[in-house]
Structure 1
Amino acid sequence: FPPAPCKAEAGSAASTSRRGRMPGGGCDERVDVDECVEGTDSCHIDAICQNTPRSYKCICKSGYAGDGKHCKDVDECEREDNAGCVHECVNIPGNYRCTCYDGFRLAHDGHNCLDLDECAEGNGGCQQTCVNMMGSYECFCREGFFLSDNQHTCIQRPEETCAVNNGGCDSKCHDAATGVHCSCPMGFMLQPDRKTCKDIDECRLSNGGCDHICRNTVGSFECSCKKGYKLLINERSCQDIDECSFDRTCDHLCINTPGSFQCLCNKGYTLYGLTHCGDVDECSINRGGCRFGCVNTPGSYQCTCPAGCKLHWNKKDCTGISGPGGLPPRAGDARARPGRFPADPAGSSPAASCNLNCLRQKVEKKLKAALKALKKSINQERFLLRFAGMEYEVARKLGAAPERQESCGPGQQRLAAKCVSCSQGTYYHGQTEQCVPCPPGTYQEKEGQLSCDLCPRSDAFGPVGATNITGCTGQCPPGQHSADGFQPCQPCPRGSYQPEAGRALCFPCGGGLSTKHEGALSFQDCDTKVQCSPGHYYNTSVHRCIRCALGTYQPDFRQNYCVACPGNTTTDFDGSTSVAQCKNRQCGGELGEYTGYIESPNYPGNYPANVECTWNINPPPKRKILIVVPEIFLPSEDECGDVLVMRKNSSPSSITTYETCQTYERPIAFTARSRKLWINFKTSEANSARGFQIPYVTYDEDYEQLVEDIVRDGRLYASENHQEILKDKKLIKAFFDVLAHPQNYFKYTEKHKEMLPRSFIKLLRSKVSSFLRPYK
């Protein structure tokens, strides 16, 4: 029978291999077809075809990446390790190779690079000496030869002599038996070619010996100091400048600090313009805390009371001076002022309804009260005498003074052979002749007093040596009040506040405003309708924030006042937020002294806007003017809105000596081109800066040649040290003294009086000596 036909198995259509039968075989005998051999695979050209039973698979060759049907060359050189190459990596299809820089060869591992010794082959092409170097080589010539331009051939030198081209030396040349010998001046070093001189950077070694800053110069170096320090005459060491030793550094107190200084003001004054002190108008600060009137005084202020009232012990509240029912004070009221009593208490005249017995009883009562007050004063050693409307303190009889020692007198004690007033918080004790601390329950605000003042409630409690009434115990704290300012106290009711202790009343918020709670401490606790920012104050009448007016400022939020600028200062604009915006506008004037200063207003603080100053320097007869501008700070970004000009007179066409509208920190000195000078400084409202303080001196016209010779010498300004001399107030004074009186030069050059650095003295010596020689 013929073989039965074969049936296809289920799923055979999805197979990627072909089936067949062996000749004479049955259906179960199938043959696998190798697609890789027949070339029927779909593998990429850079892939390997691998036959599998009934199928095949494609694998990308090494150096390629992909799924086999799509393969892409891998750039091994892009790896972080540069494919392991030490120098350069070159990518090739399916691989990479390493190469080396010139002067190196590839090692056997195909990655490392080894130095190629060029000198080992043909002496590197050098005619005489070849020296191998890492990655390169260099040719050298023997003594008597020099290398030609091709860097390989050596040419014999002609016989050298200093007479020809200085022997090839940069600096000094010396003929010797062995040839020319070159040498270098101080500050230079001879190089290996024995010809060239190279500058020595002295600053690289121990900072050149400079304390602060070392600056290398050609053939030398220069030491300089940080701002606030000066270079000593050894021109190496730096010393702090004691700015407090200068005139006019601070208006009041000056504290020197390393490299700087600090100005402080006396009590009742505030600092402005960095160094100036202006009186604080305490009355502008919430009316000084006064209940009624406030009067500002230099360094202080006083509260005033209306007629019929007197000032409270706290110096701010007011109390009535009449007794109960409006009657005159009674003798018993003396207890309100312990230690004081009327020596002759004036009683009221007996009324018609008062008989003699009644009058006797009243007098006895007054006398008992007076005796009680007298005993209390005696026990506390406090005596007052009123004469012609004036009160005098009386001390006990002083003990006998030691022999041969002058008594200091009441209110002072002897310390270190000097009479010193008793300080605040103490009083003079007559028996011991010493200053003794105030006992508890008393205080003393003044110096040199013979007794201490009693606290309003003398309960013998409190600190020893209290310096003011705030040292008394039992005062009402801020936010509370009482009739006398002492406990028991009541909190300020809603709608009022009190920021101080010991007060009798609270301040109303005003305008119908309330507070969130009782015992409010400041106006900031009042429930205002809007919150005012710095530079504004809250107006309780219109319930709006109003900008602070010119001459006032407010640094805090939610205040109901603006602070007046200190002293004679004012602000450039309204709405100021800081005392730093308060500036003195005073400037200008007639100048005729031998020396002086021209200073921008508010210096060294920023000068005010829209100000114009005019100075006139009119020197004495036969004298001329020398100006030194140490530094000047004018903003240049406002297109010369601030200008300083020095001319012969106010006419724009007159001879101009100096004009600028920019900042210059390098000093300059010059003589006036006219005998008189008209100086004008005008500012705009755009910008502001520190300004200037320019000293001047007048000199005898007979010395004009010398002065011109000095100020026109570039060496005066070339050195930073010399520039600092023109900025140092003490040294510029000495410099001016030399220019005005050349013979004084020798005073400053004496060894024990040296003030100026040696280099500066050397600059002046030749000029002054040659100028004075004809007169010797």
Structure 2
Amino acid sequence: VTALRQCSDSASEPGCPLGPHRCPSPTVSPCFSADIDECSINRGGCKFGCINTPGSYQCTCPAGCKLHWNKKDCVELLKCLPGSVPPRATLTCNKTGKKDSCALTCASKAHFLPESDSSYTVSCGTPVLRQSGPQRPSNGSQQCLETVAAPIKQKASFKIKDAKCHLHPRARGKQEEAGKAGGAGGSAPCSDCHVAFVNLKCDSSKKGKGRRARNSSNKEVTRITLEFEAEIKPEEITASCNLHCLRQKVEKKLKSAIKALKKSINQERFLLRFAGMEYEVARKLSVAPDRQESCGPGQQRLGAKCVSCSQGTYYHGQTEQCVPCPPGTYQEKEGQLSCDLCPRSDAFGPVGATNITSCTGQCPPGQHSADGFKPCQPCPRGSYQPEVGRALCFPCGGGLSTRLEGAVSFQDCDTKVQCSPGHYYNTSVHRCIRCTVGTYQPDFRQNYCIACPGNTTTDFDGSTSVSQCKNRQCGGELGEYTGYIESPNYPGNYPANVECTWNINPPPKRKILIVVPEIFLPSEDECGDVLVMRKNSSPSSITTYETCQTYERPIAFTARSRKLWINFKTSEANSARGFQIPYVTYDEDYEQLVEDI
């Protein structure tokens, strides 16, 4: 549900001079905080289901499917998009004498999360989907499965001595030595698996646990927790080693890799590689930081503050600055160490992209492909697609066709009749149906009506504009010393067949002064819409004011009774702008002065 920008709850907000929910211009009827129901507009463009949310909406997918990156289409969980390679972590290790060197390279889908000054989490790749059943709206970040079996998961936790968690760029003097860790001589943990996801958490604390706390209460305790997910390559399954056999082999190799990782971290020979930069996970307590004034990874200094790198940028460890994402990449999150690759990345596109939708090569309207990127195919005859980057085309329905391929709207479908605004085309009966009360349609030849925003509705069916959606709630704020009353939907036209009642009860020894700046009621009608102010609801009670006409000149008057019962009633056919009438209460000792004024 996307808000129609009106005035907010704050009466002091610029552009809201009339108070909460009040707008200075009456050009748009629903001048209130309202929301557009996108799900009523062709189901929000969603392939399966649509759920309204405050300020937006979300598409949903059935069980066994996940949401496409375009947030609207659905793809099978066990199906990889053609031409797409799921982002994986590249882990390599080698051994020279008794020294183990390892490196984790993350080309895409890296995530850095600083949790405190001495704790952080970094992940690489995407975890394989962990749950089954009906799918909630998801961000599509979980990868497709190319293997025939569930992923192999390994987890290990260990301490490192005399070190504190501190992700930092590797010193220049160590670069040549570091290159050996993951260079040409490095090898992957196993040749018959892919390391799909790695999650590393580093946490430093001075609090020990259990009995060891007495011996290490004043020392820094740093703990590394590693999580692996690996996929078996299906082509490695043979007659002599089936799937179960292969899983056992891979599990054994991963355990060996974790041991090598543990040694390399303790020997300061483990690297994390992001965007061409090499990082170490911890710093020995005996080594002082290079510069005390520098900010942590993912941040740059602006004046006296450290500010996270914004969306569309990444942290460059060498310059300690935030750098825009290069063409062919994007970054949706703040404070990251690299940018994610666009699907089928070709190094084209804008600099500093903040979303995958900025990636070039998306299918234009009227075309589609499995991943929403080129090469694309035109929508076949009898279907259409109004949006970019889509994986499907919508059928016209009802056996309707289009004159050509590549249609971009339902208006391109060869309907048997042409529907005018206020109607929609029903493909089941091939007739134009009037939009029901509470909906409208401003265009010709459409197959849906749009729901009125917020708590508004229309007076009749067949409405053609959002301006015909009206709030039926009686307006105003009634206080002991000041307040106002207001016709529903003001300053837009009030709805038909509505009745409002207000009661003003001032404190003892105070009377009521009313100002009517202007009032708009249809004068051509025989008093079908009436505003009356009197002592109480009885028609015979003392009447202060009554009108059924328009007056554009302001008037002020005092109430003839100490209390006021105010009633506004409209007929079934009329509508006009209405009124906003303020009032104040004053001390009765000043009655003569007020009357003279």
TM-score tier by shorter-chain length is 0.5 to 0.7
Q: Which has the higher contact order (CA 8 A, sep 6+)?
A: 2
Q: 2:584 aligns with which of 694, 697, 700?
A: 697
Paired residues of 2:88 and 2:197 also in contact (CA < 8 A): no
- Give the AA of the match of 2:546: E
SS in 2 for 1:342: strand
| TM-score, normalised relative to structure 1 | 0.49
1:492 maps to which residue?
A: 379
Paired residues of 2:329 and 2:342 also in contact (CA < 8 A): yes
2:242 maps to which residue?
A: 354
Cα distance, 1:402 vs structure 2: 4.1
- 1: distance between equivalents of 2:308 and 2:551? 51
2:69 maps to which residue?
A: 313
Paired residues of 1:633 and 1:663 also in contact (CA < 8 A): yes
Deviation string, structure 1 residues 565-596 (Cα, Å, up to 9, x no partner): 11111111100111111111111578334212
Cα distance, 1:450 vs structure 2: 6.6
SS in 2 for 1:288: helix
Cα distance, 1:560 vs structure 2: 0.4
Q: 1:472 aligns with which of 349, 353, 359?
A: 359
1:20 maps to which residue?
A: none
SS in 2 for 1:276: coil
Deviation string, structure 1 residues 133-158 (Cα, Å, up to 9, x no partner): xxxxxxxxxxxxxxxxxxxxxxxxxx
Aligned CA distance change for structure 1 residues 469 and 356 (closer, same or farther; 3 Å):
closer
- Give the AA of the match of 1:472: C
1:282 maps to which residue?
A: 38
Paired residues of 1:272 and 1:583 also in contact (CA < 8 A): no
Gaps of 5+ in 2: 1-12, 90-106, 110-124, 126-195, 199-227, 261-269, 282-288
Cα distance, 1:600 vs structure 2: 0.9
Matches within 5 A, 1:666-681: 666-681=553-568
Cα distance, 1:687 vs structure 2: 2.8
- 2: distance between equivalents of 1:440 and 1:540? 44
Aligned CA distance change for structure 1 residues 452 and 644 (closer, same or farther; 3 Å):
farther
2:422 maps to which residue?
A: 535
- 1: distance between equivalents of 2:483 and 2:427? 51
Q: 1:244 aligns with which of 8, 11, 15?
A: 15
- 2: distance between equivalents of 1:554 and 1:276? 21
Q: After the TM superposition, which parts of structure 1 deviate over 3 Å for at least 4 consecutive aligned residues?
A: 332-338, 346-353, 355-371, 374-377, 380-383, 398-403, 409-436, 444-454
- Give the AA of the match of 2:464: T
Deviation string, structure 1 residues 719-750 (Cα, Å, up to 9, x no partner): xxxxxxxxxxxxxxxxxxxxxxxxxxxxxxxx
2:186 maps to which residue?
A: none
- Give the AA of the match of 2:435: C
Point out the structure with the larger helix share. Answer: 1
SS in 2 for 1:244: coil
Paired residues of 1:442 and 1:454 also in contact (CA < 8 A): yes
Cα distance, 1:540 vs structure 2: 0.6
Q: 1:292 aligns with which of 48, 65, 77?
A: 48
1:100 maps to which residue?
A: none
Paired residues of 2:477 and 2:484 also in contact (CA < 8 A): no
- 2: distance between equivalents of 1:369 and 1:529? 68
2:5 maps to which residue?
A: none
Q: 1:578 aligns with which of 465, 470, 487?
A: 465
- Give the AA of the match of 1:570: T
Identity of aligned residues (%): 78
- Give the AA of the match of 2:229: P
Please tell me whether residue 345 in structure 1 is matched to residue 229 in structure 2. Answer: yes
SS in 2 for 1:470: helix
Please tell me whether residue 633 in structure 1 is matched to residue 520 in structure 2. Answer: yes
2:10 maps to which residue?
A: none
Cα distance, 1:300 vs structure 2: 0.5
Paired residues of 1:617 and 1:677 also in contact (CA < 8 A): yes
- 1: distance between equivalents of 2:257 and 2:41? 42
- 2: distance between equivalents of 1:600 and 1:418? 51
Paired residues of 1:399 and 1:430 also in contact (CA < 8 A): no
1:735 maps to which residue?
A: none
Matches within 5 A, 1:301-700: 301-323=57-79, 333-334=86-87, 338-339=108-109, 340=125, 341-343=196-198, 344-345=228-229, 354=242, 358-359=246-247, 378-379=274-275, 402=293, 424-427=311-314, 434-445=321-332, 452-587=339-474, 591-700=478-587
Deviation string, structure 1 residues 245-271 (Cα, Å, up to 9, x no partner): 6243766xx8xxxxxx669xxxxxxx9
- Give the AA of the match of 2:19: R
SS in 2 for 1:572: coil
Cα distance, 1:663 vs structure 2: 1.0
Point out the structure with the larger strand share. Answer: 2
Cα distance, 1:416 vs structure 2: 7.3
Gaps of 5+ in 1: 1-241, 255-260, 264-270, 325-331, 386-397, 711-776
Paired residues of 2:271 and 2:278 also in contact (CA < 8 A): no
Paired residues of 1:611 and 1:684 also in contact (CA < 8 A): yes
The worse-fitting range, judged by mean Cα deviation, of 620-629 and 293-302 is 620-629
Paired residues of 2:476 and 2:483 also in contact (CA < 8 A): no
- Give the AA of the match of 1:354: N
Paired residues of 1:243 and 1:249 also in contact (CA < 8 A): no
- 2: distance between equivalents of 1:369 and 1:288? 48
2:140 maps to which residue?
A: none
- 2: distance between equivalents of 1:532 and 1:365? 67
Paired residues of 1:479 and 1:492 also in contact (CA < 8 A): yes
Cα distance, 1:321 vs structure 2: 1.1
Which one has a bigger Cα radius of gyration? 1
Aligned CA distance change for structure 1 residues 655 and 513 (closer, same or farther; 3 Å):
same
Aligned CA distance change for structure 1 residues 319 and 616 (closer, same or farther; 3 Å):
same
SS in 2 for 1:580: helix
Aligned CA distance change for structure 1 residues 415 and 293 (closer, same or farther; 3 Å):
same
2:593 maps to which residue?
A: 706
| TM-score, normalised relative to structure 2 | 0.63
Cα distance, 1:426 vs structure 2: 3.8
- 1: distance between equivalents of 2:421 and 2:454? 22
Paired residues of 1:647 and 1:677 also in contact (CA < 8 A): yes
- Give the AA of the match of 1:534: P
Cα distance, 1:412 vs structure 2: 6.9
After superposition, the CA RMSD in angstroms is: 4.0
Matches within 5 A, 1:48-127: none
- 1: distance between equivalents of 2:559 and 2:338? 64
- Give the AA of the match of 2:391: A
Paired residues of 2:476 and 2:485 also in contact (CA < 8 A): no
Cα distance, 1:278 vs structure 2: 1.4
